[in-house]
A and B are shown apart, each in its own frame.
Chain A
Amino acid sequence: MIPELGNFALVLASVLALGGAGLGLYAPREPVLQSGVLSMVFGQWAFSFVAFTALIYAFVVDDFSVSYVANQSNSLLPWYYKVSAAWGGHEGSFLLWILIMGTWMLAFALRSDQYPDRFTTRVLGVLSLLNLGFICFALFTSNPFLRLIPLSPADGADLNPLLQDFGLIVHPPLLYAGYVGLAIPFAMAVAALLEGRVDATWARWCRTWTNMAWALLTCGIALGSWWAYYELGWGGWWFWDPVENASFMPWLAATALVHSLSVTENRGTFKSWTLLLAITAFSFSLLGAFIVRSGVLTSVHSFAVDPERGMYILIFLALVVGGSLSLYAARAGQNTAKVGYEVLSREFFMLVNNVIMVVSLAVVLWGTLAPIGYEAITGGRISIGTPFFNAFFVPLGLMLLGALALVPVLNWKRTRAQVLASVYQALGVSVLLGGLIWFALDPASLLVAGAVGLSVWVVLTHARQLWFRLGKGSVPAAYIGMTLAHLGFAMGTTGIAITATQSVESDVRMSPQSSIVLAGQQVTFTGVIDVLGPNYGAQQGIFIVTDGDRSYELRPEKRQYFAGGNTMTEAGISAGFLADTYISLGEPLEGGAWAVRAHYKPLVRWVWLGALLMAFGGILAVFDKRYARQRRRQEARQGEVTLS
């Protein structure tokens, strides 16, 4: 009964989405009709919430007559995995996507008093139209509420053991919040194009939403990378897998958008470009959904293939992106503004950032889609792997770092060359440090030393300028946010450069009571014991790691899951700020010995910590005083007066 209720709620949500889209895009002037759009948005959220709760309920009470539950869950699962199993597969994860879409719309509707009423109505109309497409996709091609009657199984097939992890609980919701959040700047761009009005005020409205979505997307990607690192047991943290690329592409576009919006807000220029980026960023979210959910590409973590779904998304993509780009082509030309700036100016360096982001985007897009084109022409499947991406991203990353170091001292429009003196002092220090690191590295690499040296340069110039500004009085939250995000980028790049080249990996055969030396630490294998988890049995290896006078235990596991008969490796990781020690069990060998994989990964945490710092900076910038509610409301009113 409850699943049918969920299904019915989803149908109601689709009806409200249709109503909201029609009325919102018609953009009535009457306040009654405008508040009608608002109520339909509340309704969409409420019914999506009911549908999602119904699905969770079906999982919690083990209703295996529901096909999706039978495929994804098992009665032996702990309750928190039963709940998160709801988004462990295609259908449920898409329902989560719809709920998150509804939540963003609700958030926008709740803050609607800050924007002109017709603008709000249009934005919500565009969002409702998108939501309608999402809900119909769920209802017609991937309904999670379908029943298996009368052949309901006694127990479920179990959740993929890879997904039975804390990562599944938090990674998809955060990632989707980022993906779907980009719909807000998209809808604001479309509304602005419909109104033919793009100005600094619009950019200021757009920035808070873009920053939030970007920060959530950053967290989501970082969490996914961290999850892959400890769960897949390969010791890597990024694989240039098509699904990873699918999340990276909207991130690159959103990063460019965050910067270009800043120029549009402060200088009133880059307008068409900003609109285009807002459309592009969300389009890549949709493209990502197409790649992940249609099975066009071979990937470690794509969902089950279904041609019908792929075709639906492709048509949806064509309508949404094609429609908005046509609107852009027809209308964006009205927003040109001539504003001059010199090379040594913030505008120019924002442009550098944008060019690097767009080139990176093109590289990832090429690397992801070329195999499809290739398959279409020849029928063969190939992979474009790490060598291709590294060839581009190493120089692009270095260039970005170099440009970033100058940013804190630059002014809008033009900067006096004398200001650069402090930057050069910092450059001297970082060249010296980079040189030292070059000598210390094994194997020595100029590129790695360069990355670290440039990162140090970025840190020095940003820290110095922040210190200088703090000394002069209060510093806007947006400036601190910018500084933190840039420091996070430097931190992440350092982590990537060091961990990619300085890790020690040894695969050895170890018999009980034997020990090896791993990067100066002594690792002793004491043996294997049997342990029992809630839905698996495991062999647990006990390793004692001694590093100087510090000593600790690592317990990697080899798990056999009861339901599916899957075997999983659970690595034992000692996480440290400066380095991780990572041990996983391979195969049992004769005489109680085991194949053991032991890694020492310096600075690997910095990759994710850097990303989190970036996200934190993005969120901090949202709380800048200049976006404060009261002032904006007044401005919005004034804006309306001048419009009418």
Chain B
Amino acid sequence: MNRASLFVPLGVFVLILTLGYVGFDLGARSELPSALINKPFPEFNARLLGRPEQSITRDDLLGQPTLVNVWATWCPTCLSEHEQLMQIAATTDVQIVGVNYKDRPDKALRWLAQFGNPYRWVLDDRDGLLGIEMGVYGAPETFLLDARGEVVYKRVGDINPRIWRSELAPRLLQLGVSIAGSDADGARQP
């Protein structure tokens, strides 16, 4: 056996360990640039979850600010951000549209029945085609569209209270969305 090859496991381990370390020491957070920022949200025509006879297009989203949230039942992080979404739905008048990504409709409907439904519409994207159009990396992801349907902000990962306070709420206020129980800065949590 080649002696150098004996060092391969050690090398792999050091790599994994580094990953573990940076994952642990999440100092450097930066936003992921989206190709869609300040561009129009892509045209689409998608069926509604549980109501396959009905479908909506990009035009249905226009006229008011919209949060487009990509989620799935196989995604534990989606469950952990769900409460925040429910709260946004309860305390603001922003329109929230869900994209059920690579999922089974029966499971998704059961999930919504169990944990609550913050969405005005949920699009059925079981094969992930709409996800490709949107440039989705994984779930959850959230896009903020203005009334003209342009993407003003994109969040890859969960909407947690910190992200809501520091990134999402201020942008919603800028777009003219009213947030119950908030001052002008939108910083207070309901």
* Residues in chain A within 8 A of chain B (CB atoms): 239-242, 272, 276, 279-280, 283, 287, 290, 294, 296, 298-300, 307, 310-311, 314, 317-318, 321-322, 325-326, 328-329, 332-333, 336, 365, 369, 371-387, 505, 507, 586, 595, 597
Known: A329-B10, A333-B3, A378-B32. A318 touches B17 (CB 8 A): yes
Q: Is B190 an interface residue (CB 8 A)?
A: no
Across the interface, do A507 and B158 meet the contact criterion of CB distance under 8 Å?
no
Known: A372-B23, A373-B19, A586-B114. A378 touches B76 (CB 8 A): no
CB distance from B99 to the nearest CB of A (A): 14
- Kindly state the separation between the CA atoms of A385 and B22 in the bound complex, as whole angstroms: 22
**0 or 1 for each of B98-130: is its CB under 8 Å from A? (1 = yes):** 000010001001100110000000000000000
**0 or 1 for each of B3-18: is its CB under 8 Å from A? (1 = yes):** 1001101100110110
Across the interface, do A381 and B1 meet the contact criterion of CB distance under 8 Å?
no
Given contact pairs A376-B19, A379-B157, A383-B78, a sample of 15 additional A-B residue pairs in the complex whose CB atoms are under 8 Å apart: A239-B76, A296-B20, A314-B17, A314-B21, A317-B20, A375-B26, A375-B157, A376-B28, A378-B29, A379-B30, A380-B32, A380-B156, A380-B158, A383-B139, A597-B110
| Chain B residue, CB-CB nearest to A300 | B76
* Residues in chain B within 8 A of chain A (CB atoms): 1, 3, 6-7, 9-10, 13-14, 16-17, 19-24, 26, 28-32, 72, 74-78, 80, 102, 106, 109-110, 113-114, 137-141, 155-158
- Cross-chain pair count, CB within 8 angstroms: 137
Across the interface, do B138 and A383 meet the contact criterion of CB distance under 8 Å?
yes
Residues in A whose Cβ lies below 8 Å from that of B14? 322
- Kindly state the separation between the CA atoms of A2 and B113 in the bound complex, as whole angstroms: 49
Across the interface, do B106 and A505 meet the contact criterion of CB distance under 8 Å?
yes
Partner of A283, one of B13, B22, B29, B72: B13
Across the interface, do A379 and B10 meet the contact criterion of CB distance under 8 Å?
no
Across the interface, do A314 and B24 meet the contact criterion of CB distance under 8 Å?
yes
Residues in A whose Cβ lies below 8 Å from that of B31? 378-379
| Chain B residue, CB-CB nearest to A386 | B74
Residues in B whose Cβ lies below 8 Å from that of A379? 26, 29-32, 157
Residues in A whose Cβ lies below 8 Å from that of B110? 505, 507, 597
Q: Is the interface of B mostly helix, strand, loop or mixed?
A: helix
- Kindly state the separation between the CA atoms of A382 and B76 in the bound complex, as whole angstroms: 9
Across the interface, do B23 and A298 meet the contact criterion of CB distance under 8 Å?
no
Across the interface, do A240 and B19 meet the contact criterion of CB distance under 8 Å?
no
| Chain A residue, CB-CB nearest to B80 | A298
| Chain B residue, CB-CB nearest to A271 | B1
Residues in B whose Cβ lies below 8 Å from that of A239? 74, 76
Residues in B whose Cβ lies below 8 Å from that of A382? 75, 77, 137-141, 156-157
| Chain B residue, CB-CB nearest to A383 | B75
Across the interface, do B157 and A595 meet the contact criterion of CB distance under 8 Å?
no
Across the interface, do A595 and B10 meet the contact criterion of CB distance under 8 Å?
no
Across the interface, do B157 and A369 meet the contact criterion of CB distance under 8 Å?
no
Known: A372-B20, A375-B26. A322 touches B9 (CB 8 A): no
- Kindly state the separation between the CA atoms of A310 and B24 in the bound complex, as whole angstroms: 8
Residues in B whose Cβ lies below 8 Å from that of A374? 137-138
Partner of B9, one of A276, A333, A377, A378: A276
Across the interface, do B113 and A586 meet the contact criterion of CB distance under 8 Å?
yes
Would you mind naming 7 contact pairs between A and B with Cβ atoms under 8 Å apart?
Answer: A241-B76, A372-B22, A376-B22, A378-B30, A381-B157, A382-B138, A586-B114
Across the interface, do A336 and B74 meet the contact criterion of CB distance under 8 Å?
no
A-B complex: 3 closest residue pairs judged by Cβ atoms = A380-B157, A379-B29, A385-B74
| Chain A residue, CB-CB nearest to B111 | A234
Across the interface, do B6 and A332 meet the contact criterion of CB distance under 8 Å?
yes
Most buried by B among A283, A374, A586: A374
Partner of A294, one of B22, B24, B75, B106: B24
Across the interface, do A373 and B157 meet the contact criterion of CB distance under 8 Å?
no
Across the interface, do A378 and B23 meet the contact criterion of CB distance under 8 Å?
no
Known: A299-B76, A505-B106. A381 touches B9 (CB 8 A): no
Known: A276-B9, A299-B76, A333-B3. A376 touches B156 (CB 8 A): no
Across the interface, do A298 and B76 meet the contact criterion of CB distance under 8 Å?
yes
- Kindly state the separation between the CA atoms of A329 and B5 in the bound complex, as whole angstroms: 8
Across the interface, do B24 and A311 meet the contact criterion of CB distance under 8 Å?
yes
Known: A328-B6, A387-B74, A387-B102. A380 touches B155 (CB 8 A): yes
- Kindly state the separation between the CA atoms of A597 and B110 in the bound complex, as whole angstroms: 9
CB distance from A369 to the nearest CB of B (A): 6
